[in-house]
Amino acid sequence: MGCNNSIRLLGTGLLLSTVLAGSCQHGYGQPTSTPRGQQGSALRGSTAKNDGYPVSHWRKEVRDAPGSFMPRDFPLIKGGAAAVPVLIELLQDDDQIVRNGAAECLQSIGPAARLAVPALARALLDKWDRVGHRAAFALADIGPPALEARPSLILVLQDPKYGDTFHTFAADALWRIGGEVDAKLIVPMMQKIINKRKADDASDRCSAAELLGEIGPAAKQTVPDLIRLVQDHADHWAARKYGCQALGKIGPVARAAVPELQKRLTDENPIVRVAAAEAIWRITKENEEKLMAVILERIHQGLNDGYGVTEALDALGSFGPNAKHAIPDLLKILMSNDPDHKSHAGQALKKIDPKAAAAAGVK
Q: Please, which pLDDT band fits residue 124 given cuts at 50, 70 and 90?
A: very high
Would you state the pLDDT for residue 144?
Answer: 96
Q: Does position 41 have pLDDT exceeding 50, yes or no?
A: no
Q: Is residue 224 part of a domain?
A: no
- 127 within some domain: yes
Of 36-40, 81-85, 86-90, 249-253, the one with minimum mean pLDDT is 36-40
The pLDDT value recorded for residue 70 is 82
Distance CA 69, CA 258 (A): 41
Q: Do 170 and 157 form a contact (C-beta atoms < 8 A)?
A: yes
The pLDDT of residue 69 is: 80
Confidence band of 199 (pLDDT split at 50, 70, 90): low
Is residue 196 scored above 90 in pLDDT? no
Report the predicted TM-score, pTM, of the whole model to 2 decimal places.
0.82
Helix axes 129-142, 96-109, angle to 10 degrees: 10
- pLDDT value at position 198? 67
Task: Look at residue 211 and tell me if it is in a domain.
Answer: no
Q: Does 98 score more than 50 pLDDT?
A: yes
Question: How far is Cα 114 from Cα 241, in angstroms, rounded to an integer?
Answer: 34
Q: How large is the C-alpha radius of gyration of the chain? A: 23
3-state secondary structure the chain: CCCCCCCCCCCCCCECCHHHCCCCCCCCCCCCCCCHHHCCCCCCCCCCCCCCCEHHHHHHHHHCCCCCCCCCCCHHHHCHHHHHHHHHHHCCCCCHHHHHHHHHHHHHHHHHHHHHHHHHHHHCCCCCHHHHHHHHHHHHHHCHHHHHHHHHHHHHHHCHHHHHHHHHHHHHHHHHHHHHHHHHHHHHHHHHHHCCCCHHHHHHHHHHHHHHHHHHHHHHHHHHHHHHHHHCCCCCHHHHHHHHHHHHHHHHHHHHHHHHHHHHHHCCCHHHHHHHHHHHHHHHCCCHHHHHHHHHHHHHHHHHHCCCHHHHHHHHHCCHHHHHHHHHHHHHHHCCCCHHHHHHHHHHHHHHCHHHHHHCCCC
In a domain, 27, yes or no: yes
pLDDT for 132 beyond 50: yes
Confidence of residue 37 (pLDDT cuts 50, 70, 90): very low
For residue 41, is it within any domain? yes
198-206 mean pLDDT:
79
Domain ranges, residue 104: 1-158
Q: In 3D, which of 93, 92, 157, 97 has the Cα closest to residue 118? A: 92
Average pLDDT over residues 77-100: 94
pLDDT score of 299 more than 60? yes
What are the residues whose beta carbons fall under 8 Å from the beta carbon of 350, sequence distance 6 or more?
317, 357, 362
Between CA 361 and CA 10 the distance in angstroms is: 47
Q: Which letter, b or e, does each residue of 39-74 get, where b requires 16 or more Cβ atoms within 10 Å of its Cβ?
A: beebbbeeeeeebbbebebbbebbeebeeeebeeeb
Q: Are 183 and 207 in contact (CB under 8 A)?
A: no
In this predicted structure, what is the pLDDT of residue 32? 30
Domain-located, residue 259: no
Q: How many domains does the chain have?
A: 1
User: Would residue 2 count as lying in a domain?
Assistant: yes
Kindly report the CATH number assigned to the domain that includes residue 121: 1.25.40
Count CA within 13 A, CB hemisphere, residue 362: 26
Mean pLDDT in the chain?
A: 86
Give me the pLDDT at residue 67, please: 65
Residue 298 lies in a domain: no
* Average pLDDT of the segment spanning 58-67: 86
